[in-house]
Amino acid sequence: MSTPQDPSPLQHTGHPGELVGVGEEVWMDVIHKMDEVYSDLLQYEVALEEKNAKLEESQQFILSVLTSISDILVVCDRNGTIEDVNRSLEDFTGRSAAQLRGTSVFELFAGDQARAQARHLFSAFSEQPLHDCELPLRAGDGGVVPVSLNCTPRFNAVGKSLGMVVTGRPVGELRRAYQALRQAHEDLKRTQQQLLHSEKMASLGRLVAGVAHELNNPISFILGNVHALKRYADRLQAYIAALHGGAGADRLAQLRTELRIDRIVGDLPPLIEGTMEGAERTRDIVDGLKRFSAIDRDEQERFDLAETLERAVRWVHRATRESFEVRIELPPRLPMLGSPGQMQQVMMNLVQNAWDATAEQPEHWLDIRGEIADGRIHLAFHDNGPGIDEQHLAHIFDPFFSTKPVGKGTGLGLSISYGIVDRHGGRISAANHPAGGAVFTLDLPLAE
């Protein structure tokens, strides 16, 4: 503010505080205005300082967020010149943000190929984001680290492209975890295969033992009979030689008694019959085995399972006690596609098993119920036998598992049935009924 002593371009009038041509009022106005301006300025400064503090706060906030982001982050312009990076990239590359600013983002990549790839990708996607693209970056220690990259374009307020923001996560950790997981999976698979193999060997062992056991009986009586036949043949030859040699009637009669020719002749038919029976049983066992291993070709024809089931029941019933009551409740038709012969075998074995199981009961019955639901055929065979021992439940479908005396059951019935039902796209299972007895359930595809 001017004082009378101040040098001033205005002229002094001789009175202190008075200027030539400017009245006091005007001066007061000016002073007021200046006061106003000054107070406005003060207010602006306070507001500015407040805004500054806020700006600093938000900058600090952004910086702290950027610093604590574990993913690497690079901001670059349209040419790929780095404008800023976060702490993670500094740690990753071992270079400070100041050193990185102004360099090319493509230099971060390891090798010419990766650089060329990055150039291509970033330019092709410069207007749209790029997700999870894996490229190798050169780490601070000189190592090459594969990084999964995301690249997002950056625009200014009016939508003009400014460049891009690249974020990335080293996939080494992920890959190591994945590899460990894969190794564990491989180990598990190998162990499972070994288990399966030993299980198969055990099954094969049981199978061979079963076959040996089953074949042993008929073969040993075939062998016994053949030995007897050989002895008989020797004696018959001696007798016939005497006959042809012109021996007298007395000598022949003597030989006939000595060699027991009459007994031999009487023994021959049962011996031959027994041998044939043994051979037939051997053939049956081999037949069963063949069916078990599905050597027989599968047929594919349409048939009515209800009809097949009724036939199976009739066939078994023919050989069973009158008192064995089989109650059947079925829809009129159960159309199926496959082999009626094989399905009949399944049904016959189930009915036969029920008959065997109920043998000791005062009365013997089997309930067969069928229905169609959800495009499938459901059958249940419930008998009034003693049920299946809990410890046997897991084994009854194993080949040669049988609780029946030798010669009565081969133990192949259910295991063959299992294979047949499986090949027809169905399932067979066994359980004990809460009210007693065993229940076998079948679930088979219905032919439309």
Residues that bind ligand ATP (CB under 6 A): 349, 353-354, 357, 383, 385, 388, 392, 396, 401-404, 409-415, 438
> Residue 441: in which H helix or E strand, if any?
strand 438-445
Nearer to ligand ATP, 112 or 390 (CB): 390
Q: Are 136 and 149 in contact (CB under 8 A)?
A: no
Nearer to Mg ion, 105 or 346 (CB): 346
Per-residue burial over 359-373, b if 16 or more Cβ lie within 10 Å, else e, is eeeeebbbbbebeee
Closest separation in Å from C-beta 427 to ligand ATP: 16
Q: Does 345 bind Mg ion (CB under 5 A)?
A: no
**Residue 275 binds which of ligand ATP, Mg ion, none (CB < 5-8 A, kind-dependent):** none
Nearer to Mg ion, 139 or 285 (CB): 285
DSSP line for 108-135: GBSSHHHHHHHHHHHHHTTTS-EEEEEE
Nearer to ligand ATP, 25 or 390 (CB): 390
φ/ψ of 388, rounded to 5, equals -110, 130
Nearer to ligand ATP, 336 or 346 (CB): 346
CA–CA gap between residue 200 and residue 207 (Å, rounded) = 10
Contact with Mg ion (CB under 5 A) among 349, 384, 415, 417:
349
Closest separation in Å from C-beta 352 to Mg ion: 5
Nearer to ligand ATP, 176 or 404 (CB): 404
Nearer to ligand ATP, 278 or 409 (CB): 409
First to last CA, the chain: 110
**3-state secondary structure at position 238:** helix
CA–CA gap between residue 285 and residue 214 (Å, rounded) = 8
Q: How far is CA 163 from the centre of its chain?
A: 46
Closest separation in Å from C-beta 172 to ligand ATP: 56
Based on its alpha-carbon atoms, the radius of gyration of the chain, rounded to whole angstroms, reads 51
CA–CA gap between residue 356 and residue 399 (Å, rounded) = 18
Beta bridge partners of 329: 369
Closest separation in Å from C-beta 353 to Mg ion: 4
CA–CA gap between residue 328 and residue 48 (Å, rounded) = 97
Contact with Mg ion (CB under 5 A) among 93, 353, 415, 417:
353
Which residue minimizes CB distance to ligand ATP? Answer: 413
Site for Mg ion in 409-438 (CB under 5 A): 413
DSSP 404: S
Q: Does 218 bind Mg ion (CB under 5 A)?
A: no
Nearer to ligand ATP, 55 or 394 (CB): 394
Closest separation in Å from C-beta 365 to ligand ATP: 12
φ/ψ of 164, rounded to 5, equals -150, 165
DSSP line for 138-188: E-TTS-EEEEEEEEEEEE-TTS-EEEEEEEEEE-HHHHHHHHHHHHHHHHH
Q: What is the bridge-based pairing of β-strands 438-445 and 427-432?
A: antiparallel
Q: 76 CB contacts (<8 Å, ≥6 apart)?
A: 82, 83, 105, 163, 164, 166
> Residue 303: in which H helix or E strand, if any?
strand 301-304
**Residue 412 binds which of ligand ATP, Mg ion, none (CB < 5-8 A, kind-dependent):** ligand ATP
Nearer to ligand ATP, 327 or 392 (CB): 392
Please count the residues of this chain forming the interface with Mg ion, following the rule CB under 5 A: 3
**Residue 396 binds which of Mg ion, ligand ATP, none (CB < 5-8 A, kind-dependent):** ligand ATP
Closest separation in Å from C-beta 431 to ligand ATP: 11
Closest separation in Å from C-beta 385 to ligand ATP: 4
Closest separation in Å from C-beta 299 to ligand ATP: 22
Nearer to ligand ATP, 100 or 354 (CB): 354
Nearer to ligand ATP, 28 or 204 (CB): 204
Q: Candidates 61-69, 137-145, 287-295, 343-351 — which segment interacts with Mg ion by CB under 5 A?
A: 343-351
Closest separation in Å from C-beta 337 to ligand ATP: 25
Length of the chain in terms of residues written? 448
**Residue 401 binds which of Mg ion, ligand ATP, none (CB < 5-8 A, kind-dependent):** ligand ATP
Closest separation in Å from C-beta 239 to Mg ion: 48
Which residue minimizes CB distance to Mg ion? Answer: 413
Closest separation in Å from C-beta 438 to ligand ATP: 4
Q: Does 399 bind Mg ion (CB under 5 A)?
A: no
CA–CA gap between residue 333 and residue 350 (Å, rounded) = 20
| Residues forming the site for Mg ion (CB under 5 A) | 349, 353, 413
